[in-house]
Structure 1
Protein backbone atom coordinates (compact mmCIF):
# COMPACT_ATOMS: atom_id res chain seq x y z
CA UNK A 1 0.00 0.00 0.00
CA UNK A 2 1.29 3.45 -0.94
CA UNK A 3 -0.06 6.71 0.43
CA UNK A 4 0.19 9.57 -2.06
CA UNK A 5 0.75 12.75 -0.06
CA UNK A 6 0.57 16.44 -0.87
CA UNK A 7 4.00 17.95 -1.43
CA UNK A 8 2.76 21.39 -0.41
CA UNK A 9 -0.36 23.16 0.83
CA UNK A 10 -2.92 24.13 -1.78
CA UNK A 11 -6.35 23.55 -3.26
CA UNK A 12 -7.23 20.43 -5.22
CA UNK A 13 -7.75 21.91 -8.68
CA UNK A 14 -8.29 18.71 -10.67
CA UNK A 15 -8.44 14.97 -9.95
CA UNK A 16 -6.83 13.02 -12.79
CA UNK A 17 -7.79 9.45 -11.76
CA UNK A 18 -10.75 7.60 -10.30
CA UNK A 19 -11.15 4.85 -7.71
CA UNK A 20 -10.32 1.46 -9.18
CA UNK A 21 -8.15 2.91 -11.95
CA UNK A 22 -4.75 1.34 -12.63
CA UNK A 23 -1.92 3.88 -12.49
CA UNK A 24 1.78 3.83 -13.27
CA UNK A 25 4.61 5.32 -11.25
CA UNK A 26 4.91 9.09 -11.93
CA UNK A 27 1.39 9.31 -13.42
CA UNK A 28 -0.37 12.43 -12.12
CA UNK A 29 -3.02 11.67 -9.50
CA UNK A 30 -4.19 15.22 -8.76
CA UNK A 31 -3.25 18.77 -9.67
CA UNK A 32 -2.95 21.20 -6.76
CA UNK A 33 -3.20 24.95 -7.15
CA UNK A 34 -1.03 27.04 -4.87
CA UNK A 35 0.02 30.66 -5.32
CA UNK A 36 -1.54 30.62 -8.82
CA UNK A 37 0.70 27.70 -9.86
CA UNK A 38 -0.44 24.21 -10.86
CA UNK A 39 1.47 21.48 -9.04
CA UNK A 40 1.00 17.88 -10.26
CA UNK A 41 1.11 15.19 -7.58
CA UNK A 42 2.28 11.88 -9.12
CA UNK A 43 1.82 8.27 -8.04
CA UNK A 44 4.89 6.96 -6.26
CA UNK A 45 4.39 3.39 -7.52
CA UNK A 46 2.41 1.29 -9.99
CA UNK A 47 -0.91 -0.03 -8.71
CA UNK A 48 -4.64 0.46 -8.44
CA UNK A 49 -6.28 3.49 -6.83
CA UNK A 50 -8.01 2.07 -3.74
CA UNK A 51 -9.24 5.35 -2.30
CA UNK A 52 -9.26 9.06 -3.08
CA UNK A 53 -9.15 11.09 0.13
CA UNK A 54 -9.89 14.46 -1.49
CA UNK A 55 -12.43 16.11 -3.78
CA UNK A 56 -11.93 18.94 -6.25
CA UNK A 57 -11.95 22.24 -4.33
CA UNK A 58 -10.66 20.73 -1.07
CA UNK A 59 -7.74 22.44 0.67
CA UNK A 60 -4.83 20.19 1.67
CA UNK A 61 -1.78 20.79 3.81
CA UNK A 62 1.70 19.50 3.09
CA UNK A 63 1.83 15.82 4.02
CA UNK A 64 -1.93 15.21 3.83
CA UNK A 65 -2.84 11.88 2.23
CA UNK A 66 -4.49 12.43 -1.15
CA UNK A 67 -4.91 8.84 -2.34
CA UNK A 68 -4.10 5.25 -1.49
CA UNK A 69 -2.62 2.98 -4.17
CA UNK A 70 -2.25 -0.76 -3.76
Structure 2
Protein backbone atom coordinates (compact mmCIF):
# COMPACT_ATOMS: atom_id res chain seq x y z
CA UNK A 1 0.00 0.00 0.00
CA UNK A 2 1.14 3.50 -0.77
CA UNK A 3 0.12 6.95 0.42
CA UNK A 4 -0.78 9.57 -2.19
CA UNK A 5 -1.03 13.27 -1.41
CA UNK A 6 -3.95 15.08 -3.01
CA UNK A 7 -3.16 18.74 -3.73
CA UNK A 8 -5.39 21.69 -4.48
CA UNK A 9 -5.10 23.08 -8.00
CA UNK A 10 -6.58 26.45 -6.98
CA UNK A 11 -6.60 29.01 -4.19
CA UNK A 12 -9.96 29.22 -2.44
CA UNK A 13 -11.70 27.80 0.61
CA UNK A 14 -13.09 24.40 1.52
CA UNK A 15 -16.81 24.66 0.86
CA UNK A 16 -17.89 21.05 1.41
CA UNK A 17 -16.23 17.83 2.50
CA UNK A 18 -17.56 14.87 0.46
CA UNK A 19 -15.40 12.08 1.92
CA UNK A 20 -14.15 11.59 5.48
CA UNK A 21 -11.15 9.64 6.81
CA UNK A 22 -11.86 5.92 6.53
CA UNK A 23 -14.16 6.31 3.51
CA UNK A 24 -13.43 4.39 0.31
CA UNK A 25 -12.87 6.54 -2.76
CA UNK A 26 -12.65 5.64 -6.45
CA UNK A 27 -10.32 7.22 -9.00
CA UNK A 28 -11.73 10.57 -10.21
CA UNK A 29 -14.32 10.62 -7.38
CA UNK A 30 -14.63 13.94 -5.50
CA UNK A 31 -13.12 14.13 -2.03
CA UNK A 32 -14.10 17.74 -1.36
CA UNK A 33 -15.44 20.83 -3.09
CA UNK A 34 -13.54 24.12 -3.02
CA UNK A 35 -15.09 27.54 -3.57
CA UNK A 36 -13.21 30.20 -5.46
CA UNK A 37 -14.69 33.39 -6.93
CA UNK A 38 -18.25 32.02 -6.48
CA UNK A 39 -17.39 28.83 -8.42
CA UNK A 40 -17.43 25.31 -6.96
CA UNK A 41 -14.43 23.20 -7.99
CA UNK A 42 -14.22 19.52 -6.98
CA UNK A 43 -10.94 18.04 -5.75
CA UNK A 44 -10.87 14.44 -7.00
CA UNK A 45 -8.85 11.37 -6.07
CA UNK A 46 -6.11 10.53 -8.57
CA UNK A 47 -6.36 6.85 -7.59
CA UNK A 48 -8.77 4.55 -5.82
CA UNK A 49 -8.24 3.68 -2.16
CA UNK A 50 -9.14 4.81 1.33
CA UNK A 51 -9.09 8.39 2.61
CA UNK A 52 -6.48 8.35 5.39
CA UNK A 53 -6.37 12.05 6.26
CA UNK A 54 -8.14 15.32 5.45
CA UNK A 55 -5.91 18.29 6.24
CA UNK A 56 -8.43 21.15 6.01
CA UNK A 57 -11.77 21.87 7.66
CA UNK A 58 -14.87 23.34 6.04
CA UNK A 59 -14.54 27.10 5.67
CA UNK A 60 -10.74 27.11 5.90
CA UNK A 61 -8.64 28.79 3.19
CA UNK A 62 -6.70 26.59 0.77
CA UNK A 63 -3.66 27.60 -1.29
CA UNK A 64 -2.76 26.34 -4.75
CA UNK A 65 -0.45 23.33 -4.35
CA UNK A 66 -1.44 22.71 -0.72
CA UNK A 67 -1.88 19.07 0.32
CA UNK A 68 -5.54 18.80 1.32
CA UNK A 69 -5.94 15.03 1.72
CA UNK A 70 -4.00 11.78 1.83
CA UNK A 71 -5.23 8.54 0.22
CA UNK A 72 -3.95 5.04 0.89
CA UNK A 73 -3.97 3.04 -2.35
TM above 0.5, yes or no, is yes
Task: Determine whether 1:59 maps to 2:61.
Answer: yes
Q: Could you say which residue in structure 1 is the equivalent of 2:5?
A: 3
TM-score where L is the length of structure 2: 0.94
Q: Which of 35, 48, 51 is matched with 2:50 structurally?
A: 48
* Stretches of structure 1 lacking an aligned partner (at least 5 in a row): none
d(CA) in 2 for partners of 1:6, 1:54: 11
Deviation at 1:53, TM superposition (A): 0.3
What is the root-mean-square deviation in Å for CA atoms of aligned residues? 0.5
Q: Could you say which residue in structure 1 is the equivalent of 2:14?
A: 12
Aligned length: 70
Q: Post-superposition, which runs of at least 4 consecutive aligned residues in structure 1 deviate over 4 A? A: none
d(CA) in 1 for partners of 2:63, 2:20: 21
- Residues 20-70 of structure 1 show CA distances to partners (whole Å, capped at 9, x for unaligned) of 001000000110000100000100100101101010001010000110000
